[in-house]
Structure 1
């Protein structure tokens, strides 16, 4: 029986995607493969090679699908957790409802997709709990809801091969379990083969039968699931404490960093917050948690001055009540921020040193000179052990590397309030440990407040001392 996808001794002609040695990969009918490697190891390059996105200077690619290749496989990439290609997307668009008069719904988009049968469409919607999303506007979906939409869209036509980049990105634990079960069901019922990319093998889905490991542009031999799980796991040592002394400053003290009084927010008849009262004081570190769609990102958009609903609410930020004449930039100059929406909309194809230094002056006139901003960017990149990326263009990085760079950028203005919305999405264990250490060290400098969103307690920095649990 011929392999479904057979890549032999392949070398590409892209100078930004260098390989340590020629790549060989084989996917046979009935197999499901995980590509496992750290950030920047070559997983995205490998996917591009398998789908014909790169010209092969050496070697060969043979696909033996039953239908035309472009119909036979579908890809749900990393950014499928953050955005959709159906229409242009810009940062803050999700919160500006007055610009969404002609925005399309989930139902209108999915109705355009061919399904193998209407029975399968109904069954798939039920499996992925899509029914309650159908009448929602696509740009109002949370990252987890958007991920489910993309997976449903890809599965409707029952492709012979479905490629999922970082399949669990943006999904809460119940939805992760749901996706695991769906992959098993469709592999058996529809004979769909899966290729997944992952940063570590610990969460290997049950459907996976074989594993390739990638490291620094080199691909391992093919391992069976049992062989891969039996290999010694690399240890993740405690990261050395990063030197952040360059971020020391005279602390500004606020009585109220955030205060919400009787705040009610609703979208499309769904009430997210009903007479909510919440106070964040100077120096506190909060974990904000809750299932997909519970309103975590909406809450943060009010604080970051991204959501126009804030003007009608009883909301105080940095001891100043909203609507009292302050500009949004007077608020933003205090805040360092990373979120899925920011990652999705960030498309400035500049050198990484410029990307990080731009976080120092974003949105307001700073006394900082360009050289001072670049000097701080270099120090931050060294702290995140990413200085080797400083001259690379942003769009040439892997999605995980982009996430790390944007995380470094959130520290650039030495903020009084650091807001991190699922900051570790797409980061491997090494980079998560390093980032957690940096957050803890930054907080120990004093005069900082932290709001941290995650679905997973093991990701929390040790300095967290308060929790806000949203239920939507």
Structure 2
């Protein structure tokens, strides 16, 4: 059996949907699961392997002649074919459709294998029944029996467990485990916990593109990918903050931040000149610019950490800068994450306690926390897909997981403004997408205004509509 190779392959399914420039290699003895959110293109990618779609450009090599596809689309196509046979508009009868036995006795089916499968699925009593009288689950079983009876060299299964009862799910899982010894299998799944033990590789899709291909033998990469799917596709709720830790109420008629003719200069070097900028509550911003364009300086004007903040006209959280406010009055409204903070956080402390330390704005935890604070930290770990790691040492986490935990630490009090200074700096592509997915959840699920600072304009986040470009 040869490898299947999609080389910059583009294929059209209808006038509204295409997959473009797909690169993917499936070697012999590999079994794949395709993961991704709704609308990512998973089903289309799987169907390509069975020759579905109209080629536009690129090439596909090594397609297997004997394939079988089980999918909702194939099921819908079979239903549509049965409806075409309907004579209900002519005959005064209720149509029952083609008998099940006729649909199963296809020329491609191995007769002996077909009899075995009919017995396993307890389909004997349904053989004389018309197709139109089958339930949704029975129709799904019929599709599986047809596919497995053909003894394909490549079996493509799109959500094979959907619509099956518990006993049938166990039966199908066992059949696939046995079949995987001699047949290449590609599956589309929405649930990570349904990935069978025989799967060797994972492919993750977004917006019609394969973003990651990971071997199950790489436990770190496969765990990161499953964590990304958790953040992207699970209906997560951002934990609430205890009332005593919420920042004081602000006047909703006033902006969170307003800078007028802001200027930063060092000797003859102008970093920022005449910058007017207003951040309204609920108005998420992305700030981009090359190195040296003044991004971090701008943040330090807001937080009060820049020596020139008092020489500028700055209004923050209901206070005019220089009117006698303390830096702690400002910072209680702010959650802050940066690479610098991550490097500073080198104390020996558990993952859970790092999140709890956000209630006290401390690096480390030096006082007894409440039960309510512990519960909220546990809820944040569930959001991150890290519940099992609560008591691990923060220093032992991967660089990307540390960044996620620090974002949760910054968010536990639901600050009025969450400042993320280059949150993806130093991260590989998979961990970068984990961080972006978490920020997207925060934008959608809280009243916190997000200020996301980076130097790559293409690292966009759903929910962030405002953009300030520096330099």
- Higher RCO (CA 8 Å, separation ≥ 6 residues): 1
Please identify the structure whose Cα radius of gyration is greater.
Answer: 2
TM-score, normalised to structure 2's length?
0.47
TM-score, normalised to structure 1's length?
0.47
